[in-house]
A and B are shown apart, each in its own frame.
Chain A
Amino acid sequence: MKRTAMTTTYREAMREAIREALQRDDRVFLMGEDVGAYGGCFAVSLGLLEEFGPERIRDTPLSEAGFVGAGIGAALGGMRPIIEIMTVNFSLLALDQIMNNAATLSHMSGGQFSVPVVIRMTTGAGRQLAAQHSHSLEGWYAHIPGLRILAPATVADARGMLWTALTDPDPVLIFEHGSLYNTSGELGDDAGAVDIDTAAIRRPGADVSLITYGGTLPTVLEAATQLMKEGIDAEVLDLRTLRPLDDSAILATVARTHRAVVVDEGWRSGSISAEISARITEAAFFDLDAPVGRVCSAEVPLPYAKHLEQAALPSVARVIAAAREAVGQHG
């Protein structure tokens, strides 16, 4: 059967995913600040209010703890809420609800309750928004047992992860990097749910494994293209899910290339990149031909000025330098 593919943006793919979920299951509703009349602060939900009405595209007051907690309660009450938080920075006001309720209720109740809530939020830097709108805190959330953490980096994952997340009985957090909304890709018109368990190889290669997720995937793919020109054949692994990590995919790529560089827009200290590096050295130490490298954000609250912000973030040049280092080519 011939499938027609069309070009679509990450934003449109996400919107289509929400629309499909609303159509398929009457327990699903979207709730958050400015998701309705405004159309979503990143225009993800634009047009959905007109289509589904204010009950299911529910504008909330500025009350992150209140509406995230209400989403948890609604999930306990049998609904399947999609909660949108404008950015990860504001999710800190709801951390109590996410950490102390969503992540703990199943366990504290001895398995009597599940919390099938999905919480979406924007993450990441690159738009000169300075230190209260630019951080990548998904690694923090990945620290918490009881949560599942997703980082869709492609149009297909933006389209397909949401439905699978909604069928998960436990709380799922979806981190959407702000720089990805305008990226585009091909999507078959039969595109739909995808798995949320496994990492994906976005570019096969033999010389070094570049392990990343979310907003830095395009950066890493660009670096891999340039590295090829100098004869370094990099494999790019997109983690897709940060908790639970797909250990077998991580170890398998390292077993193939014997060299690994982790690229993460979070800070380096105490980070998800540290966790991945530790797992590699714990489980694949003798496969390694070089120390595990890391490219992370500079240890600074992200600055406003463009040149400083860019200097703080993982870049194509820094990824290339780290890959060269790993394969033993310097300068």
Chain B
Amino acid sequence: MNPERAERAERAAARIRSNPEHARRLLHQMLRVRRFEEKCVELYSAAKIRGFMHVYIGEEAVAAGVLATLEPGDAVVATYREHGHALLHGVAAGAILAEMYGFEQGCCHGRGGSMHLFDAATRFFGGNAIVAGGLPVAVGLALADKMTGRSRVTVCFFGEGAVAEGEFHESLNLAALWQLPVLFCCENNLYAMGTALGRSESQTDLALKAASYEIPAWPVDGMDVLAVEEAARRAVSAVRAGSGPHFLELRTYRFRAHSMYDPERYREKAEVSQWLERDPIDLLRGAVEAAGELSETQWSEVQAQVDAEVQAAVDFAEAGTLEPVEELTRHVYTDRAATDLDATDRDATDRKRP
């Protein structure tokens, strides 16, 4: 082990020992996403789930680390690879899975599917299948908070592929210009479908790029959930304190194909295996064990809990029903009869909370 790694391991061990409960919780959170998505893949093969589906397997430390730092009321905007973000931000696994089944009991009544998960109660604003399409919306959510003097944070996740889009540039510029409370989390998994970062960006140092907008930005080892959490905590508290937007480049890797239809012609098996050695779940599990804070029994318990949750989600989804086709054109416009639109409505988001 090189000295830098050794020092980091020592720090991690100290951190784990200072709050082993929390470390085990992070492990639990990552495993929830992993097992849930493994089940999704299985159900996709069984044709229970259709459409485009993108899994996050390998990248769990990013969502788990960042979302652990949020407070109730903070908003999340994500991409089409968002099952994990939804789950960890508090959307029920059953509602997510039922959504992918296209059932009425899904979190969007089957209108959205895998790529468009939404949840007003937890302020989860999607699920966006347009690369970079969520960035301007996140900027606007942050603008609303700033204009009304609320101390909420909006976290916006996007892939490194989005960095090449014009909306990325416009959004970072606006957020910095207006000093808005938004945290940009760039999930750099090195590929946008089959396009490697070096084939799409003239400047591949993404934190440097973000810094050119006068946004504090730094790269983070996205396979190390403790490092992600530490960086995110620093960034989120700065954002919440009014220091304007921050940017994290989370260096990670997707272990699976881009979507369910990807023969992976663009990367070497050896590269994938190298990254598999840094599986974020194995890394944390190893570290917690090494710190003497994860017994066999504890690990079994974590697994059993996760398996039970996933099974319950499958049972919930399997029991789902189809929305009557007569309701096809519902929700294109707001149902005014069912919505309180009077002058006391001060917040569209709060209004829709159950």
Q: Could you tell me which A residues sit within 8 Å of B by CB distance?
A: 27, 29, 55, 60-61, 63, 65-79, 81, 96-97, 100-101, 105-114, 116, 145-146, 148, 167, 169-170
Asked if B135 is at the interface of the complex by the 8 Å CB criterion, the answer is: yes
A112–B143 touching, CB < 8 Å: no
Asked if B192 is at the interface of the complex by the 8 Å CB criterion, the answer is: no
B347–A65 touching, CB < 8 Å: no
A222 to B: closest C-beta gap in Å: 36
Q: For the complex, what is the distance from the CA of A145 to the CA of B147, rounded to whole Å?
A: 30
Asked if B322 is at the interface of the complex by the 8 Å CB criterion, the answer is: no
Range of interface residues on chain B?
35 or more
Select A69's contact among B120, B136, B148, beta carbons within 8 Å. Answer: B136
B330–A111 touching, CB < 8 Å: yes
Can you list the 7 inter-chain pairs with the closest CB atoms, starting with the nearest? A73-B140, A69-B136, A77-B144, A66-B170, A78-B347, A109-B118, A70-B140
Q: For the complex, what is the distance from the CA of A269 to the CA of B346, rounded to whole Å?
A: 44
A113–B118 touching, CB < 8 Å: yes
- Name 10 interchain pairs, CB-CB below 8 A, sorted by A: A70-B137, A73-B139, A74-B144, A76-B348, A78-B144, A78-B148, A78-B346, A110-B112, A111-B338, A169-B339
Name the residue of chain B whose CB is nearest to the CB of A24: B343
Knowing A70-B174, A170-B333 are in contact, say whether A76-B125 is a contact too (CB < 8 A).
Answer: yes
Residues of B close to A170: CB separation below 8 A: 333-334
Q: Could you tell me which B residues sit within 8 Å of A by CB distance?
A: 75, 106-112, 116, 118-120, 125-128, 130, 133, 135-145, 147-148, 166-167, 170-171, 173-174, 177, 330-336, 338-339, 341, 346-350, 352
B141–A65 touching, CB < 8 Å: no
B173–A66 touching, CB < 8 Å: yes
Select B334's contact among A68, A79, A111, beta carbons within 8 Å. Answer: A111
A55–B167 touching, CB < 8 Å: no
B174–A73 touching, CB < 8 Å: no
Residues of B close to A108: CB separation below 8 A: 108, 111-112, 116, 118, 126-127
Q: For the complex, what is the distance from the CA of A109 to the CA of B119, rounded to whole Å?
A: 7
A101–B139 touching, CB < 8 Å: no
B141–A106 touching, CB < 8 Å: no
Residues of A close to B348: CB separation below 8 A: 75-78, 113-114, 116, 169
B119–A65 touching, CB < 8 Å: no
Residues of B close to A100: CB separation below 8 A: 128, 130, 133
Name the residue of chain B whose CB is nearest to the CB of A109: B118
Select A66's contact among B109, B139, B333, beta carbons within 8 Å. Answer: B139
A110–B111 touching, CB < 8 Å: yes
A69–B108 touching, CB < 8 Å: no
Select A65's contact among B109, B110, B112, B136, beta carbons within 8 Å. Answer: B136
Knowing A72-B136, A169-B334, A169-B341 are in contact, say whether A77-B120 is a contact too (CB < 8 A).
Answer: no
B341–A167 touching, CB < 8 Å: yes
Select B136's contact among A73, A77, A109, beta carbons within 8 Å. Answer: A73
Knowing A100-B130, A169-B341 are in contact, say whether A65-B335 is a contact too (CB < 8 A).
Answer: no
User: Which among B110, B142, B349 has the greatest number of chain A C-beta atoms within 10 A?
Assistant: B349
Residues of B close to A107: CB separation below 8 A: 111, 331-332
Residues of A close to B347: CB separation below 8 A: 77-78
Name the residue of chain A whose CB is nearest to the CB of B75: A77
B108–A112 touching, CB < 8 Å: yes
Q: For the complex, what is the distance from the CA of A72 to the CA of B116, rounded to whole Å?
A: 17
User: Which among B75, B140, B144, B334 has the greatest number of chain A C-beta atoms within 10 A?
Assistant: B140
Select B350's contact among A70, A78, A81, beta carbons within 8 Å. Answer: A78
Residues of A close to B174: CB separation below 8 A: 60-61, 63, 66-67, 70
B56 to A: closest C-beta gap in Å: 20
A301 to B: closest C-beta gap in Å: 24
Residues of A close to B334: CB separation below 8 A: 106, 111, 114, 169-170
Q: For the complex, what is the distance from the CA of A73 to the CA of B156, rounded to whole Å?
A: 12
